[in-house]
């Protein structure tokens, strides 16, 4: 009788421990592969829109965990070089790609940027992963033909791979000096909730499958 009781208590404790550990370890991952816009350049990292996304998901007891693999100054070429290892290390179910802005600011050929974006999305969707592509716009320094082609390539890549996309992540803040840092390129900490709000509707559709 005593032996049975001890075994019963032990089994109950093991079940409780497993129940407590499993949800956290089984959380599905969202990988964000971006540049300074997603790396919270010039502000505290935990104030950036990616950290706010993770907090919003946590507040709703969501099974999703956000992994931020964004690096300031990153290009599509750099992201393409890093993505395979990031996918292997984190095995995400969803990949958010926010790249291309630095390529455009440097005047790289749009055809080259689009080719890299195409490869990034193709690599991310392999294995059934879901992808959200975040678009960017650039100042008209290189003329209307370049800026128009640059803006259109996000839509074209998203359409080619049948993935969701946000046309311009900075839509709600780019023309508001009070929400941009002194360089006129990077949003302030106060702007980060608006960036998240720009991403959220499309991301919800991705989360819903």
In a domain, 167, yes or no: yes
Distance of CA 190 to the CA centre of its chain: 19
Look up the CATH number of the domain holding residue 134. 3.40.50.1110
In a domain, 157, yes or no: yes
Domain with 100 in it: 28-207
Q: What are phi and psi of 107, to 5 degrees?
A: 75, 25
In a domain, 125, yes or no: yes
In a domain, 20, yes or no: no
User: How many separate domains does the chain show?
Assistant: 1
Per-residue model confidence as pLDDT tens digits over 177-190: 999 999 999 999 99
In a domain, 19, yes or no: no
pLDDT at 27: 61
Please identify every residue annotated as catalytic.
36, 183, 186
Per-residue model confidence as pLDDT tens digits over 123-180: 999 989 999 999 999 999 999 999 999 999 999 999 999 999 999 999 999 999 999 9
In a domain, 61, yes or no: yes
Q: Which residue has the higher pLDDT, 21 or 59?
A: 59
Q: What is the 3-state secondary structure (H, E, C) of 168-205?
A: CCCCCCCCCHHHECCCCCCECHHHHHHHHHHHHHHHHH
10: pLDDT confidence band, cut at 50, 70 and 90?
very low
pLDDT at 141: 93
Please give the model's pTM, rounded to 2 decimal places.
0.87
């Amino acid at each position: 009788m005593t032996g049975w009781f001890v075994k019963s208590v032990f089994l109950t404790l093991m079940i409780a421990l497993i129940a407590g550990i499993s949800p956290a370890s089984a959380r599905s991952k969202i990988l964000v592969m971006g540049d300074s816009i997603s790396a919270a350049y010039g502000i505290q990292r935990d104030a950036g829109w990616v950290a706010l996304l993770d907090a919003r998901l946590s507040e709703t007891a969501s099974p999703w965990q956000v992994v931020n693999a964004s690096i300031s100054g990153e290009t599509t070429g750099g992201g393409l070089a890093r993505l395979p290892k990031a996918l292997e290390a984190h095995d995400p179910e969803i990949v958010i790609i926010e790249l291309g802005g630095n390529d455009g600011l440097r005047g790289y050929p749009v055809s080259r940027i689009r080719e890299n974006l195409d490869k990034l999305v193709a690599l991310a969707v392999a294995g059934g992963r879901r992808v959200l592509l975040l678009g960017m716009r650039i100042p008209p320094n290189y003329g209307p033909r370049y800026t128009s082609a640059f803006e259109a390539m996000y839509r074209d890549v998203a359409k080619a791979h049948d993935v969701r996309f946000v046309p311009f992540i900075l839509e709600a803040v780019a023309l508001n000096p009070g929400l941009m840092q002194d360089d006129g390129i990077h949003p302030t900490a106060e702007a980060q909730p608006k960036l998240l709000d720009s991403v959220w509707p499309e991301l919800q559709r991705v989360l819903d499958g």
